[in-house]
Chains A and B, each alone.
Chain A
Amino acid sequence: MQAKASFDPKALLRDTLLAGLLALVVFGPVVGVVLQGYDFTLRFDRVAWMVLAVMVGRFALSLYQQSPAGARRQQRGEGADSGIAVLPPGYRSHLRWIVPLVLLVGLALPFFANKYVLTVVILGLIYVLLGLGLNIVVGLAGLLDLGYVAFYAIGAYGLALGYAYLDLGFWTVLPLAALAAAVAGALLGFPVLRMHGDYLAIVTLGFGEIIRLILNNWLEVTGGPNGMSVPAPTFFGLEFARRAKDGGTPYHEFFGVPYDANMKFIFIYLVLLAVVTLVLYVKHRLTRMPVGRAWEALREDEIACRAMGLNHVLVKLSAFMLGASTAGLAGVFFATYQGFVNPSSFTFFESALILAIVVLGGMGSTLGVVLAAFVLTVAPELLRTFADYRVLLFGILMVLMMIWRPRGLIRVHRVGISPRPGRLHEEAVR
C-alpha cells in the first residue's frame, strides 16, 4: 500500500480545535479553580496558557502526521520491530576502548573532584547499580517489579539494624544484605511467578508498601519515621572519622597523614566503583550464557519456552533473585553514604524512578541503563529550579517513551555468528 500523504487544512483545523476544547474541559476546573479551604480563587490565565500549549502541540503533531515522513512512520506501526540489531560476525565494538578509558577517568576522579561532585557521582553510581539490577528483572526477563525499592530498603536497613543490634560492620553486611535481599526475592517471587505476568506488578507493589509501612510503624525496632544511624565503612579496621569511636584507629593517625573529611566519600566511591564494575561484568557475561538467553526468550514468548522444556519458574526466579540482590548491595551503599536511613527514602516514587531509568535506557541494554541512571540523577541536581516538575517530567517521559520507542533510546546490539565451514562445505567448494 502506498503511503498516503496529503495536506488537509480542514482536518488540521478540526483536530486543533477539538484538542483545545478537550484541554479546556480537562484543565479548566482543576487548573482554573484553586481550592482554598472551603473557598476558591480563579486562575483563568493558567487555563488559557495550557489550552494554547495543547492546541499548538496538536497542530504541530497533525502537521507532522500529514507530512510524507509522518505518514510513513504511522504506516510502519510503532514498536513493531524486534528491537535487537544484529551486527555482522566478527564485529568488535568501540566499547573495548571506551570502557577502560571510562574506568581510568573514574579511578582518577577523587583526586580532582570536590566533595559535592563526589557525592553526586556516588548517588549516580548507586542508581546505576539499581538500574542494572532492575534491568535484569524488567528488561531481560520481562517481569514488571514495582516494589523494587523493598529490596533496596532491605539492604539499607540491613546495615542499620545489623549495626544497632548485632554489631555488624559495613563489610560483613555487604554480602549478607545481597543474600538477604535475594532470599526475600525468592520468598516473594516463588509463589507469584507461577501466575499471570501482570499480577506480579501489583504483588510487588503491595510488597514494597508493606516493607515501607513496617519500617515506618515498628517504632521499637526501626525507630519509625525518625530513622536510624548507620556506621561509615572501615578499611581493614581503620576508621574515617576524626576520632575513632569503638576503639579503632582513625586512618590519619595510622598513616600519619593530615585528616581529610572527604576521605570517607572517596573510600565509598572507590568501593562502589569496584562493585559496579563487577556487577557490569557479571551481567555482561550472564546475558551471553544460557540463563541470560532463557530470560530473553521467556520475555518474548512464555508459552513457546515452556513448550521447549524451559522451567519458567526457575528461570524467572533466578532473574528476580539476582535483581533483588543487586538492590540489596545498592541499599548498603546508600545507607553508609547517607550515614542515616529512614523510611521516606523508600517510597513508591523511588521504584518509579528506577523504572524510568530502565525504560529510558532501553530494556536490556546495559550501556543505556548506565547513561540513563546518570542523566536522571545528575540532571535534577543541575536543574534545581525545575525540582517541582521532576515527577511530572518522569511521567511524561515514561508515556512518550512507550509510544515512541518502547525498547528504549539505545537499541540492543548483538554480534551475529557465522557457522564454521564443515567438511561438506569444503568439499562443495573444491
Chain B
Amino acid sequence: MDGIFFQQIINGLTLGSVYGLIAIGYTMVYGIIGMINFAHGDVYMVSAYLAAIGIAVLSFFGLHSFPLLILGTLAFSIVITGVYGWTIERIAYKPLRNSTRLAPLISAIGMSLILQNYVQLSQGARQQGIPTLLEGALRLHIGDDYVQLTYTKLFIIVVSLLGMLALTFIIHRTKLGRMCRATQQDRKMAEILGINTDRVIAYVFVIGASMAALAGMLITLNYGTFDFYAGFVIGIKAFTAAVLGGIGSLPGAMLGGIILGIAEAQFSGMVNTDYKDVFAFGLLVTILIFRPQGLLGRPQVAKV
C-alpha cells in the first residue's frame, strides 16, 4: 500500500460526504412522493453561488474571522436555498400532484433548465470562485510516504457528519420527523390521521435544499471554483449515491455517498481521471440493473 491509496481515500471521503448530503435531498423526496427531483442538482449549484455571494458581502463589511464568516454565510445560504426549495416545489410540483406519472419529471427537467439559465443570465457564464479561507494541513506519515489532510477537508468531513446527525435527530426525535415518516409510509393514511401532507412535502423539499446548501458551501470551500453548469454532473452523482445506498433510506444516502466518493477517487487515482464520470455513471447503470433496491433499501413491490 502506498501513500496515494490512502490519500485518495481521504479525498474520496471528503467528496463522498458531500455527495451524501446532496443525496439526502433526492432520497427524501423520492421516499415521500416517489419522484426524481431533477432540479436538485441545480439547487445545489444556486447554493454554491449564494455561498460565494455571502462570503463576498460579509468580507466587504469587514468580517474576516473564519468561524463568524462561515457561520454567517452558512445561515444566509441555508435560509435562502431553503426558500428556493419551497418555491420550486410550490410552482413546479405541487400543481401536478394528481397529474400523469411523467408530468412532474418533465416539469423538474424544465425547472432545472430554468435555474441554470437564470443563474447564467444573472451572474454570467464565466467560472466564479472564492478565496482560500482555511489554510494548513495535517500530515500523517505512513512508512516512507505521507498523507495530507488539509484543514478544509477535515472541516468538510466533520461538518457533513454534524449535518447528518442533526437531520437524523430531526427525523427520529421531533414531531416534524414523525410526520415525515408517517407521510412516507402511507400518504393517504397520514392525511386521514390529520397530518397536512402538502405541508410535510414542502418541508421535505426545504430540508433537502438546506442539506444541498450545506454541501454547496463545503464543496466551494474545497475546490474554490464553480459555474452555472456545476449542478448537472454532481446531481447525477448524488443520485447515484442515493440509489447505491437504497433510495428512500437516509443512512443509505450517506453510505452510498461515501462509497461512491471513495470508489471514484480510487478510480481517478489508479486508472484515469478523464473517465471518472464515465465510471460513476457506469456504476449507476450497473447498480440499477443488478441491485435496484440498493444496499440498505427494501425491494419495491407494486400494489394494485
Residues of A within 8 A of B (CB): 22, 25-26, 29-31, 33-35, 37-40, 46, 77-80, 138, 142, 144, 146, 188, 191-192, 195-199, 201-203, 205-207, 209-210, 213-214, 217, 303, 348-349, 352, 355, 359, 363, 388-389, 391-392, 394-399, 401-403, 406-407
Return the chain A residue nearest B290 by Cβ. Answer: A191
Q: Is B288 interfacial (CB-CB < 8 Å)?
A: yes
Q: Is B210 interfacial (CB-CB < 8 Å)?
A: no
Contact A202 B95 (CB under 8 A): no
Q: What's the count of A-B pairs with C-beta under 8 Å?
A: 181
Q: How long is the Cα–Cα vector from A394 to B117 in the complex, in angstroms?
A: 10
Indicate which residue in A35, A197, A401 contacts B123 across the interface (CB closer than 8 Å).
Answer: A35
Using known A-B contacts A25-B80, A35-B128, A214-B278, determine if residue A392 contacts B289 with beta carbons closer than 8 Å. Answer: no
CB neighbours (8 Å) of A399 from chain B are 91-92, 107, 110-111, 114
Q: How long is the Cα–Cα vector from A340 to B290 in the complex, in angstroms?
A: 39
Please encode chain B, from 264 to 304, with 1 for each CB lying within 8 Å of some chain A CB and 0 for all others. Answer: 00000000001101100110110011001000000010101
B266–chain A nearest beta-carbon distance, Å: 19
Q: Is B15 interfacial (CB-CB < 8 Å)?
A: no
Q: How long is the Cα–Cα vector from A195 to B118 in the complex, in angstroms?
A: 35
Return the chain B residue nearest A394 by Cβ. Answer: B113
Return the chain B residue nearest A139 by Cβ. Answer: B102
Closest 7 CB pairs of A and B: A398-B110, A395-B113, A395-B114, A206-B281, A392-B117, A402-B107, A391-B117
**Interface of A (DSSP majority class):** helix
CB neighbours (8 Å) of A206 from chain B are 236, 240, 281-282, 284-285
Contact B300 A209 (CB under 8 A): no
A422–chain B nearest beta-carbon distance, Å: 35
- The interface centre, meaning the residue of A25, A195, A205, A401 with most chain B CB atoms within 10 A of its CB, is A205
Using known A-B contacts A217-B274, A395-B117, A398-B109, determine if residue A198 contacts B87 with beta carbons closer than 8 Å. Answer: no
Contact A138 B102 (CB under 8 A): yes
Contact B116 A391 (CB under 8 A): yes
Return the chain A residue nearest B80 by Cβ. Answer: A29
Q: Is B35 interfacial (CB-CB < 8 Å)?
A: yes
- The interface centre, meaning the residue of B83, B107, B119, B232 with most chain A CB atoms within 10 A of its CB, is B107
Contact B275 A395 (CB under 8 A): no
Q: How long is the Cα–Cα vector from A397 to B124 in the complex, in angstroms?
A: 23
Using known A-B contacts A146-B109, A402-B96, determine if residue A202 contacts B236 with beta carbons closer than 8 Å. Answer: yes
Q: How long is the Cα–Cα vector from A40 to B284 in the complex, in angstroms?
A: 39
CB neighbours (8 Å) of B53 from chain A are 29-30, 33, 35, 40
Return the chain B residue nearest A79 by Cβ. Answer: B99
CB neighbours (8 Å) of A39 from chain B are 56, 60
Contact A406 B121 (CB under 8 A): no
Q: How long is the Cα–Cα vector from A80 to B97 in the complex, in angstroms?
A: 11
23 sampled A-B residue pairs with Cβ under 8 A: A22-B87, A29-B80, A30-B46, A33-B57, A34-B122, A35-B52, A138-B102, A144-B102, A188-B285, A195-B292, A202-B288, A203-B285, A206-B281, A209-B236, A210-B278, A217-B278, A355-B109, A394-B110, A395-B111, A398-B106, A402-B99, A402-B104, A403-B96
